[in-house]
Amino acid sequence: MEEKRDTENLIASDTAAAPITPMEEVDVPAAATPLGRSRVRSLARSAGALLAFAMVGLLVLYGASRVFEPKNNGGVGGLNAAHQAAEAFLGEPENSLDALFIGDSETYSALSPVEIWKDAGIPSYTCAIGKQYLTYSKSLLNRALAVQNPKVVMIEGNSLFRPFDEQKLVKTAVKDAFPIFERHDRWKALTPEDFVAAPENTWVDDMKGFRLKWGIRPADASKYMASDERVQEVPELTMTVLRQMADACHADGAQMVLIATPSTKNWSQARHNGMVKVAEELGIDWIDLNTGDDEVAIDWDTDTRDYGDHLNYYGATKASRAVADILRDRYGLQDHRADGGDTYRHWNRAVRAYERQIEEAEHFNATCLAPLGSDLRATLPLEG
């Protein structure tokens, strides 16, 4: 017993009073074991396999996109007719278009490039489909800038008030990168040529993206562009895409301009105020054909095909001539009607096709619609 007491006295008093507890024990990191290194190598191999799989997948998508991409821009192989017309600038001679008009159905109903050519000799194109989102407008702009060198790009403002979300933005980017996601329905129309031939753009739209409509449905313009201090805001995501479009135009040497075509249903003073704010923020021009110095004298009894929503060809003729004057007088675009060579020769064919459609429309109105009377005509289906 005496020996045990002597051993206990060898421990310092302060240490003996505070015995070590498990919480105070210090873990010393063990050296890497062969098992740890093996796990790291396994993870690296898995990451490499995933990367290789992703690369193969992207290559497959790229190859499939080349196969499903139409080999001609002229509607061969199931292209949507609306997109076909909107993108037919691909068939125009390279760097021959001095102005582009990008927007939705308001644009293709109001701005006729052939009318502008007849009036001022300015080569232009209308890139538009119905209910067009600005995401597709951006895609059209990028495709056009790859083959054309326009001096002025006019963005119709109605589509700026059509909101979209991040998901639609991502989907559009994926479709642009891999067209198979947009053209997958062409599988029934595939031919052996689709697997080996390179795409060609040989088709030219004589209407240059414009759609001539001749129906007449009067509009109630009693509250049209009434005084209003409110400001209708453009969504921030839309502004982000619009800034990107402005940057693309600037990099290509084109002047981007915002424009509003006449419409009693789509334009108001509040929207006008919102567009003023957007134009000031981006430092670009804003042209409103609904009001102010640039207002077009539209007769809302005769110049609209659907109660003020869209113009018919009577209204489009007025709006197009006003834009021709603006392009010539304000932006200095040149008259190419007297130019020699083949670059603009096809515009003469376009004029003949355009005037032939007008003659047919006027004949139809005079012989088929006018005798019915306004009340009966109002019961007929609206034009698309």
Model pLDDT for residues 223-247, shown as the tens digit of each residue: 999 999 999 999 999 999 999 999 9
Chain centroid to CA 353: 28
In a domain, 101, yes or no: yes
Count of the separate structural domains present in the chain: 1
The residue range of the domain holding 102 is 75-163+199-334
In a domain, 130, yes or no: yes
- In three-state form (DSSP H/G/I as H, E/B as E, the rest C), the secondary structure along 193-220 is HHHHCCCECCCCCCCCCCCCCCCCCCCC
In a domain, 206, yes or no: yes
In a domain, 375, yes or no: no
In a domain, 246, yes or no: yes
Q: Is the pTM value of this prediction over 0.85? A: no
The 3-state DSSP class for residue 135 equals helix
In a domain, 354, yes or no: no
In a domain, 260, yes or no: yes
Q: How many CB atoms lie within 10 A of CB 196?
A: 8
In a domain, 182, yes or no: no
Higher-confidence position of 190 and 89: 89
Distance from C-alpha of 215 to C-alpha of 377, rounded to nearest angstrom: 9
pLDDT band at 74 (very low <50, low <70, confident <90, very high): low
Q: What CATH number should be reported for the domain holding residue 294? A: 3.40.50.1110
* pLDDT confidence of residue 49: 65
pLDDT at residue 379 tops 80: no
